[in-house]
Structure 1
Amino acid sequence: MTNVVAQRIDQDDLADRVVAAMRLHRSPSYPRTFEVWYAHLSGTIPALSAELQQVLDGGGFVGATVIDGLYNRYLATERLAQEANRTSSQILEEIAGLTRQINEAVDASELYHSEISALSEQGPASADRTMLRKWVETLVLSTRSEVARKATLESKLRDSAREISHLRDALETSRIEAQTDALTGLANRRHFEERLQACFEVATSDGIPLTLVIADVDYFKRFNDDHGHATGDQVLRLVAHTMTEHMVDRAVITRFGGEEFAIILPDTNLNDGKLYAESVRQALLKRELIKRSTNEKLGRITISSGVAAYKLGDTPTSLIERADQALLAAKRTGRNRTVTQDALTR
């Protein structure tokens, strides 16, 4: 009992520290914020703590963008992975049960056939009606029993097949959700890293072009501060929708983190990558953001983009860094523009 009380006190103390940290660092007051800070202060997810500590060391403000990024990268994906593991275990258990049923059916079938063989060998003379009747009755009872066993097995097999189908669908849903950003419906950072690595292997082995675009919503913090996080979410969904509308063949569009988006363009050179980024930027300029709750017109959304293409000797990290440097150049030179890696050497 003493240990339980002590544990409750520790948890209450940790909860108080979480609330205090949220206030100190001006984090938004919603459930996922509490979960992120709780994970950090309890030390249960070291990678999350390390990333959050970098933000704290850089200034101390932990806003919605940081919280959402940490939550999606660590907490949401962890839960989905656990759910996928549980579903996989259920499928394995169902298959094991199915195997047992089949083995039992095989054993019963072998027993039935041995009984029939024995009856055939011991068949009475046709003149002995009493023995013939008993022989037939035994044969009929054995056959009925076998038919009943098969009917039971068929029913169990159908039930197991349906259950496995449901579990397989659930597993596929968990797999897709684990690769998807909940807010925008785009691929998430985890899926981006997997796909970029796969595209890199093809570019390296086959010499096929590969281009990466990193785009950032201009003045996103202003939208959040002036109009609230719900409007900020609306901005991100609008950008995601516009990118998807203009998606080219085999492109992988991802929410890279916060208000940043990354687009992998396989079999695409630098110039075509810039044209794609420009088409998205121009499309956004034609759309006016309207606040849903009040129908207030909030103006146009603009993005800045950096474009980099694969070079011999590149790594996924070096390509990301070069695209990010081009993005920073776009920001420094006035925003609402697209800059390629070529501009970095001028």
Structure 2
Amino acid sequence: MSQGRHADRDYSFALAQRVQELMRDYGPSATPRAYTVWYSYVAGHHPLMNDALKRLIGQKQALTEADTDALFEQHLAGGRLADIAGETSATMLSEIAGVMEMLDLSVGSAAAYNASLSSLSQDLTQNAVTRERVREIVGTLVGKTREVATSNRVLEARMRESRAEIEMLREKLEATRLESLTDPLTGLSNRKHFEEVLRTSVESAAVTGTPMSLVVLDIDFFKRFNDLYGHLTGDQVLRLVAIVMRESAGPQATLARFGGEEFGIVLPGLERAEARVIAEAVRQSVMGRDLVKRSTGESLGRVSVSVGVAVHKAGDSPVSLLERADLCMFAAKRAGRNRTIDDSVGADVLQDVA
């Protein structure tokens, strides 16, 4: 074994050892998905995932199986979507090649027909034409015309088939694109889409001077709830929050789940007061729902969320706006949870949780 390959082998074993240590310290169990997430974290392959994982550890001191599943789906499961896109693209190219072949045949058929017409025209003008020759010419014209008509019908049918196939492929690609931007558990936007929308909204607000706000909310004591009732019931809670967000936010809002139990609402065109109204509507509606375990009918009580609201300021970047909304949300937790705090509070309040 060469020295380079031996070094690579030692490096991979060192990574694996570090992964095992992290899973023991922070992870729920050594599942294949958890191992993949932590290995990617240690190797530094996906910086956005590393940021999300650090955020979760900072909030909860440990990861649940639902957390590692969410990190895997949001940051590492793109291979399947890439395979779908590649397969669809290959089919599209094959379909286009078939259409081009049919067009080439049609063009060749038309060229042959034109050549026949030219030849017959010369025959009519340059030679003495008898009645029998006229019959022959007419017969030839009829035959050639039928051949062209048949070719055109085949081409038309093939074009209809290809149009339907290409439309189906277009819809499949669009569905794949949307899936790549969607959190599979809640149906909200995932972290990737959230970051894209936040960036474009901040850029637009900076250029046009129009307001925009960001709401960040986190489910209170979610880890304890998960540990007590199980991940399936925890998933119910996540879906409940997503439903409430859809009911409370307007059509211009982008709703996202970008962490284990952390959600965001991008609100272009809204000032702080308007954003706070939406934030409070979500908080109160979540608190007002009685939770029931589906499998047993057992009452699980209620859950609450802590909410932070930040409004775009001159010079803000997507990161600074998100950090300020996060600080407001952590201030809400520090103040007793189940409340909304916006960035109109004094800097000393936010500094206490920085």
Counterpart contact for 2:56–2:259, Cα < 8 Å: no
Length, aligned pairs only: 331
Q: C-alpha separation between the residues in 1 aligned to 2:211 and 2:306?
A: 23
Residues 160-190 of structure 1, C-alpha deviations (whole Å, 9 max, x = no match): 1111011001001001111111000001111
Counterpart contact for 1:36–1:70, Cα < 8 Å: yes
Cα separation, partners in 2 of 1:320 and 1:51, compared to 1, 3 Å: closer
CA positional deviation for 1:216? 0.2
Q: Which residue of 1 is the match for residue 204 of structure 2?
A: 202
Using structure 1 for the length normalisation, give the TM-score.
Answer: 0.85
Q: Which residue of 1 is the match for residue 244 of structure 2?
A: 242
Q: C-alpha separation between the residues in 2 aligned to 1:68 and 1:179?
A: 16
Counterpart contact for 1:22–1:28, Cα < 8 Å: no
Q: C-alpha separation between the residues in 1 aligned to 2:56 and 2:177?
A: 33
Q: Which residue of 2 is the match for residue 306 of structure 1?
A: 308
CA positional deviation for 1:140? 2.4
- 1:168-317 correspondence runs (5 A): 168-317=170-319
Q: C-alpha separation between the residues in 2 aligned to 1:51 and 1:325?
A: 16
Q: C-alpha separation between the residues in 1 aligned to 2:194 and 2:56?
A: 26
Counterpart contact for 1:305–1:327, Cα < 8 Å: yes
Q: C-alpha separation between the residues in 2 aligned to 1:201 and 1:48?
A: 20
3-state DSSP of counterpart to 2:258 = strand
Cα separation, partners in 2 of 1:62 and 1:246, compared to 1, 3 Å: closer
Q: Which residue of 2 is the match for residue 94 of structure 1?
A: 95
CA positional deviation for 1:109? 0.9
Residues 64-94 of structure 1, C-alpha deviations (whole Å, 9 max, x = no match): 2431332122223343244224323432342
Letter of the 2:67 counterpart: V
CA positional deviation for 1:125? 4.9
Q: C-alpha separation between the residues in 2 aligned to 1:126 and 1:82?
A: 67
Q: C-alpha separation between the residues in 2 aligned to 1:196 and 1:50?
A: 19
Counterpart contact for 1:180–1:186, Cα < 8 Å: yes
Q: Which residue of 1 is the match for residue 5 of structure 2?
A: none
Counterpart contact for 1:270–1:307, Cα < 8 Å: yes
Counterpart contact for 1:55–1:61, Cα < 8 Å: no
Q: Which residue of 2 is the match for residue 74 of structure 1?
A: 75
Q: C-alpha separation between the residues in 2 aligned to 1:99 and 1:245?
A: 50
Q: C-alpha separation between the residues in 1 aligned to 2:53 and 2:308?
A: 27
Q: C-alpha separation between the residues in 2 aligned to 1:81 and 1:44?
A: 21
Q: C-alpha separation between the residues in 1 aligned to 2:57 and 2:208?
A: 43
3-state DSSP of counterpart to 1:137 = helix
CA RMSD of aligned residues (A): 3.0
Where do 5+ consecutive residues of structure 1 fail to align? 1-12
3-state DSSP of counterpart to 2:316 = coil
CA positional deviation for 1:234? 0.3
Q: C-alpha separation between the residues in 2 aligned to 1:256 and 1:140?
A: 69
Residues 126-165 of structure 1, C-alpha deviations (whole Å, 9 max, x = no match): 5342x33332332222122212211221121111111101
Counterpart contact for 1:21–1:37, Cα < 8 Å: no
Letter of the 1:151 counterpart: R
Cα separation, partners in 2 of 1:50 and 1:340, compared to 1, 3 Å: closer
Letter of the 1:216 counterpart: D
Q: Which residue of 2 is the match for residue 8 of structure 1?
A: none
From 125, 130, 137, the counterpart of 1:127? 130
Cα separation, partners in 2 of 1:292 and 1:28, compared to 1, 3 Å: farther
Counterpart contact for 1:40–1:48, Cα < 8 Å: no
Letter of the 1:98 counterpart: V
Q: C-alpha separation between the residues in 2 aligned to 1:163 and 1:304?
A: 49
Residues 230-264 of structure 1, C-alpha deviations (whole Å, 9 max, x = no match): 00100000000001011124111100211000000
Using structure 2 for the length normalisation, give the TM-score.
Answer: 0.83
Counterpart contact for 2:257–2:264, Cα < 8 Å: yes
Q: Which residue of 2 is the match for residue 329 of structure 1?
A: 331
Q: Which residue of 1 is the match for residue 4 of structure 2?
A: none
Q: Which residue of 1 is the match for residue 3 of structure 2?
A: none
Cα separation, partners in 2 of 1:30 and 1:155, compared to 1, 3 Å: farther
Letter of the 2:89 counterpart: S
Counterpart contact for 2:64–2:223, Cα < 8 Å: no
Q: C-alpha separation between the residues in 2 aligned to 1:56 and 1:337?
A: 20
Q: Which residue of 2 is the match for residue 10 of structure 1?
A: none
Cα separation, partners in 2 of 1:241 and 1:31, compared to 1, 3 Å: farther
Where do 5+ consecutive residues of structure 2 fail to align? 1-12, 349-354
Letter of the 1:192 counterpart: F
Identity over aligned pairs, percent: 42
Residues 206-234 of structure 1, C-alpha deviations (whole Å, 9 max, x = no match): 11011101000001001110011000100
Counterpart contact for 2:56–2:260, Cα < 8 Å: no
